[in-house]
Structure 1
Amino acid sequence: MTDRRLAVDAWESLFRAQHEVFAEISCDFDDTGLSQAEYDVLLTVTRGDDMTARLRDVTANMLISQPSVSRLVERMAARGLISKCSDPDDGRGALVRATEEGAAAFRLVALAHGRSIAERMSQLDDEELVQLRDLTEKLRRPAPEC
């Protein structure tokens, strides 16, 4: 049986570390023309074949609700960062593709953001980074039913 106090302490430390690190690197988006949420959409889209992703995959990778993602995608399309069209393989779905302007904006921010992340995470050696990645992936798995 897991020690309850230790579990709470570990959770609190993980939560605070995430919050503090995120606050430190969030300035990467200042004066870039992209918000963190727009960057997250473009991250998913640019990783896809032909810089395209299904809208449902974009939604699955976001930490906001489906209606919020839909509104965000519409705003990004209006700004010319992405285009949106029907998914020929799924009549109810949509495909989202990065435009040249969106891909360029993403690459510009991604370089600086990647450097900030690597710099902040440099407090850990490679073995610790692997361990952290593996532990957080384990925590993301669904918990057993009560």
Structure 2
Amino acid sequence: MNDRRLAVEAWESLFRAQHELFADLGRDFTDAPLQQGEYDVLLTVTRAPGMTARLRDITRFMLVSQPSVSRLVDRMVARGYVTKCPDPDDGRGSLVRATEAGARAFREVARVHAAHIAARMSALTEDELTQLRELTTKLRTAGTPAG
């Protein structure tokens, strides 16, 4: 078992870094054609084969509830960024596909956002970035300890 105090200090540092980075990088969406939530949806959808993803997969990658994601996707349909149709493999599910307008808006925002992410992360070496990725993956995939 790790030292509890060190574990709490490490968690607080990670939490504060994430919060500050998120706030800083969130400014990329102030005057952008997409809101941050829309960007997150399109990030998942545009990376999927055929720029089509199951709604449940989009929800799994976002940090909000399924009803909130469904409402967001419905607003994006109305804005012309995605289409939504029933999933033929899951009668209760839906497929979300990026439209050309959605993919174009995503690329426009992604260029700026990725540049800002890279600039902010430039405080770390490539080895440190690799280590950070490995450590955060380990934290995300570790089971919840008993007790």
Q: Could you state the TM-score of these two structures normalised by the residue count of structure 2?
A: 0.97
Could you list the structure 1 runs, at least 4 aligned residues long, displaced by more than 4 angstroms after superposition. Answer: none
Would you say the 8 A contact 2:87–2:94 is kept in 1? Answer: yes
Q: Which residue pairs with 2:144 in the alignment?
A: 143
Q: What are the ranges of 5 or more consecutive residues in structure 1 without an aligned counterpart?
A: none
Corresponding position: 1:14 with 2:14: yes
1:59-116 CA-to-partner distances (Å, cap 9, x unmatched) read 1010000110010010000111000001111111110000000000000000000000
Corresponding position: 1:127 with 2:127: yes
Q: Could you state the TM-score of these two structures normalised by the residue count of structure 1?
A: 0.97
Count residues in correspondence.
146
The residue type paired with residue 132 of structure 1 is: L
State the alpha-carbon separation in 2 of the partners of residues 65 and 135 from structure 1: 26
Worse-matched range after superposition: 25-34 or 68-77? 25-34
The alignment partner of 1:124 has SS state of coil
The residue type paired with residue 15 of structure 1 is: F
Q: What are the ranges of 5 or more consecutive residues in structure 2 without an aligned counterpart?
A: none
Q: Offset of 1:144 from its aligned partner?
A: 2.7
The residue type paired with residue 82 of structure 1 is: V
Identity rate, percent: 68
Q: RMSD of the alignment, in Å? A: 0.8
